Amino acid sequence: MTDTSTTQRRELSAQYQPADVEQRLYEGWVEAGVFTPNGEGEPFSIVIPPPNVTGSLHVGHALDHTIQDTLIRRRRMQGYATLWLPGMDHAGIATQNVVERQLAGEGLSRHDLGREKFVERVWQWKGESGGKILGQMKRLGDSVDWSRERFTMDERLSRSVLTVFKKMFDDGLIYRANRIINWCPRCLTALSDIEVEHTDDDGELVSIRYGDGDDSIVVATTRAETMLGDTAVAVHPDDERYRHLVGKTVELPLTGRRIPIVADEHVDPKFGSGAVKVTPAHDPNDFEIGQRHQLSSITIMDERAVITAPGPFEGLDRYEARPAVVAALREQGRIVAEKRPYVHAVGHCSRCSTTVEPRLSLQWFVNTGPLAKAAGDAVRDGRTRIEPPELAKRYFAWVDNMHDWCISRQLWWGHRIPVWYGPDGEVVCVGPDEEAPDGWTQDPDVLDTWFSSGLWPFSTLGWPEQTDDLKRFYPTSVLVTGYDILFFWVARMMMFGLYAMDGKQPFDVVALHGMVRDQYGKKMSKSFGNVVDPLDWIERFGADATRFTLARGANPGADVPVSEEWCQGSRNFCNKLWNATRFALINGATVEGDLPSVASLGDKSTVSGLNTVDRWILSRLQTVTKQVDDYFERFEFAKACDTLYHFAWDDVCDWYVELSKPGMSDTTRRVLGHVLDTLLRLLHPVIPFVTEELRTALNPGGGSIVVAAWPQADTSFHDATAEAELEALQRVVTEVRRFRADQGLKPGQRVAARLDGLAAAGLAPHESLIRSLARLDDAGEGFAATATLAVAGGVTVALDTRGSIDVAAERARLAKDLAAAEKEVAQCRGKLGNAAFVEKAPAAVVAKIKDRLAAAEGDIARINAALAAL
């Protein structure tokens, strides 16, 4: 592969500036075609969950895309023929709303333009303003194959939609019927369950007495206006209170109509009065009761939720009619009780937030029964695996209890339903290669957007044609998505894929992640003021820092906490890598030449030509490489990132670089180059930009890191002896540094010290390193130990702190710190010992207090040790 970077230099600027490299590198990658699958490697494919054409990159997208890109980049480096296919969804309701708002600004409506001209206007908007998110994906670093970009309204994908609809229609899986659906009185269209968002709203619960005397019965409702359409009252068949009323009729107030009292097991006798009003045309459960008891369905509202029932309420909006009906009932003495506010779940249109109205309507439906069963079987028999496995229960709960799916929408933007009606009521479904009969009328509705996006895993690969892409990359390898749409989009793709592709699952693995939340575990909301704009973070901290922050919190199926402070920390991590590589280059680190080979010793405890420090870092590198590989395979991105973070920051930068500074040999320069090269390749899938820039400087002739080989652990470099020695050395240095910090010694201030027990601990060869790192001078003439540190392993460090520390002042300072730490411990234990607090407080708050307790207890131990040392 040709080097895609335009930078062929071994010098790095003093500071890393993401804005100087990100766009240049990304354009270079695209121009070189490194994101296009090449070669004969094993295929690995992901189709991107298509963002809406109206959308922009939000933090959920950023998390989702970071995980997908990490998977794709790693597989690409492993030699797979990787395809990450991008595209967008036409977003029927959202897009139509955008264009209609534009027209309204011009004093027009879509009806002024007519259907054909309106659709032309939407296409014009799409070309000029839609799809901004695609450019934002590039800023994040998405390594998608732009040559295969798709759009759900493209001609080829539209052909797929028509083909599937025709096949399902002919197989009896699509039908038209009067059923209760979710209706938006503002968008004037049916909605799927996915497009309805439920919130707890304040309302009122009104109890109304139907009938008089011994034959009266009380029902409760939050929508009093719908009583105008009641056709029955229902009670549970085993409810003794109402058994004498079953089969009788009662007068419906305000209407003069008499309605029957029926017995139905759906009624909960423990809820309210145990009796419910039945309005089949305006409630899904009531509709089912009505079907079972052959009740009539009376529609009392039009498509704008205006009352159409003849009488004094006709012409009123539903919210005007509600208090008017209650007032009329109160005047008649029919109100038994009123409860307000009464908090209850209310559905809202996800596009305009209008309260959804259940409505009896003639719509097109998919018979999901056989399709849902196949989708459940594919997971049960292992064709598709859900990660983490415990979320499979949610999937089964959905597909095993799925209702038929309303797929028609009363919109103009979308795939128009390919059904024509003849002059004598004839109905014909017209396939993509068929012509409609002359003079027949096409159904005016379009298909639910989720219908076309449900075909995404195979329509984007060319189906119904048997293309090379379809043969090679279907089934796709992984679907990455949030658990919140597991039931909706994932289930639909499973149903369509198995149906259209002869039982072949659309993806082998469904990898589910959680929702992005703030650092306290709180849901992000504009009202809370805690919403993160990933584009803002990219602008301020860089794409790599944004990606690393998200990936470092991503455990399978779990919510992902983030904060700006953590993103700043990720930026600092990128800067740390930059500075370490710059140091290495200045000091002659290289990737040229072979590493020294492993010596032929039985226990492989030494490697020829390598000192103990070199052997230690190579041994640690192999362990980390194996761990990171395992974590990525298990979709444990947080653990992989955390492992790499601590290896890079602690082992490489804080220890190996510092240990290597005194008298760096050619062998150490080669080892340092190898370690950094391997580390950058391990990090590349998560932070692609800085790793490309650094590796190009470190290895100018090595080509792009995008297609560099993924590191493989070499167990021959595992060296338990070297690791044990370095761990002992680190303990000594860390204890001395901690003591120095506790005593307020300046970092560069040297202190005379005597080191005892080094030989027994195997550290005698490293005394000069210990003294260099801990800023310790030899114990010369006049040495007097004023403090002694006992370190694990039998090592003691005696220090002469005369002239360096005011012992009395230091004791006073430590005593003050000890009192503060003890107070903190008492407060934390008090809260955690309060059972009521622990039960009611959010888990994140309890966890934070536990962390505070552990930190305070650690402070107490440290302060007591410092006092003892004084």
Q: Residue positions in the annotated binding site for ATP?
A: 526
Nearest CA among 844, 549, 607, 559 for reference residue 723: 607
The answer to whether 415 and 451 are in contact (CB under 8 A) is yes
Task: Determine which helix (DSSP H) or strand (DSSP E) holds 441, and give its type and residue range.
Answer: strand 441-442
Tokens linked to 778: 């030899």
The dihedral sign for the CA sequence 838, 844, 849, 855: positive
> 482 to each of 193, 512, 556, 824, how far by Cα in Å?
17, 5, 10, 39
Cis peptide before 685 (omega within 30 of 0): no
Spatial distance between the Cα atoms of 727 and 393, rounded to a whole number of angstroms: 45
Distance in angstroms between the alpha carbons of the first and the last residue of the chain: 62
Compute how many other C-beta atoms are within 10 angstroms of the C-beta atom of residue 101.
Answer: 9
DSSP 455-486: THHHHTTTTTS--HHHHHH-SEEEEEEEGGGI
Nearest CA among 406, 409, 413, 407 for reference residue 53: 413
Spatial distance between the Cα atoms of 487 and 692, rounded to a whole number of angstroms: 38
Spatial distance between the Cα atoms of 150 and 152, rounded to a whole number of angstroms: 7
**Helical residues (DSSP H) of 363-447, grouped into ranges:** 369-380, 392-399
The answer to whether 139 and 688 are in contact (CB under 8 A) is no
Compute how many other C-beta atoms are within 10 angstroms of the C-beta atom of residue 506.
Answer: 29
Nearest CA among 377, 373, 378, 380 for reference residue 402: 373
Cβ-based neighbours of 21, under 8 Å, separated by 6 or more: 689, 690, 692, 693
Annotated binding-site ranges: 526
Cβ-based neighbours of 149, under 8 Å, separated by 6 or more: 85, 86, 87, 134
Spatial distance between the Cα atoms of 6 and 4, rounded to a whole number of angstroms: 7
Spatial distance between the Cα atoms of 338 and 342, rounded to a whole number of angstroms: 9
